[in-house]
Each structure stands twice: as structure tokens, then as C-alpha cells.
Amino acid sequence: MKTNFSLLFYMKKPKNYQKGVAPIYLRITVNGNRSEVTTGRSCEPLQWNAISGRGNGKKEEMKSFNAYLDNLQNKVFEARRQLTEKDDAITAERLRDQFQGKIGKQCTLIDVFKDHNHKMETLVGSEFSKGTAERYRTSLKHSVEFLQWKYKVSDIDIRKVNRAIFYN
């Protein structure tokens, strides 16, 4: 699915701004929805070029500042590539979270199944019989074999599991 995607670095002066440096923010826009994050850097307003979204100047300090912004931009593009590779929905918030490393380990069907079976095993004898635990182990085995046979994968993101996966 095609998404409209853009990045913008901009200066955000505080409400009570008098003089001095102002923080630089990064705005990620996907299909008209925005998400903003601070870059952690500041700049003098006279040295900021709002059109290019970079600092003006040829001194080493400004070159380093612009290189830092370029690096952030590359990280956002890499986060977008990773989400696209995983076939995840690309939203401004998900892109920001991926860029910042806040997206945790994805939850997969086989992992959930194994976790469930482990919990079942601990309850054998008190709440469940050995036969019930054996049926769950068999069910897990068949699920792994089905995913391999039908989709040629060893596991699948739990969010992609629906009725259609078993009937198509």
C-alpha cells in the first residue's frame, strides 16, 4: 500500500522566548498524520534555515550539527524500510516508535502457543489432565507444520492471524 511520507526539521521557540538558542524538532508525517520528536539539539534562530531544515554556516560546529540531522533522517528512513519489510502498517506513530527503538519484540502465533502450553504444563494434575496437555502439544506441532506447508514460514505475527489464514 502506498503511503505519503515526509520529514521536516523545524525550530520550535518556547512561548516566552526572548533570545538564545531554540530546540530543533523532527516532524514525521504519514498520510497527513503527524508525529513529532525532539532531536535533542538546539540552534540560534539566525543560523537556522527553515526552508532547508538545516543550519546555515560553514564552520565545523554547524557541519557537525547538520551531519547529526542527516543521520537522524537516515535512521527514520531505515525504520520505514524495516516496517515495510515486516509488512507492518506504516503510521507516523509506529514510524516514530520504530525510529526510537520503542517497538518491542513482535508477538507471534507459535510463541503465544508455546507460552500457553508451558502454563498448561504447570497446571497438570491440579486443573488439567496429562491428556489435555498432550493434545495442546499435538496442536502446537500441527500448527507449526501447517504454517510451513501452507505459507512456507516457521511463525507468523499474531496480528495477522484471522479466519482467512486457515480457509484460503
pLDDT tens digits for range 14-35: 888 778 889 999 999 998 899 9
Q: Which residue has the cell 484460503?
A: 168
Q: Which residue has the cell 551531519?
A: 67
Comparing CA positions, the residue from 50, 32, 37 lying closest to residue 76 is 37
- Rounded Cα distance between 115 and 99, Å, is 29
Per-residue pLDDT at 166 exceeds 80: no
Residues 6+ apart with CB under 8 A from 14: 22
Q: Which residue has the higher pLDDT, 50 or 107?
A: 50
Per-residue pLDDT at 152 exceeds 60: yes
- Per residue in 81-140, pLDDT (tens digit) is 888 887 777 888 888 888 887 765 567 889 889 989 998 888 888 888 999 999 999 999
Mean pLDDT of 52-71: 91
Q: What per-residue confidence (pLDDT) applies to 18? A: 79
Q: Is 18 exposed, middle or buried (0-12, 13-18, 19+ CB in 10 A)?
A: exposed
Mean pLDDT of 55-68: 90
Per-residue pLDDT at 168 exceeds 70: no
47 phi/psi in degrees, rounded to 5: -95, 0
Give the Cβ contact number of residue 26 at 10 Å.
22
Q: What per-residue confidence (pLDDT) applies to 95? A: 86
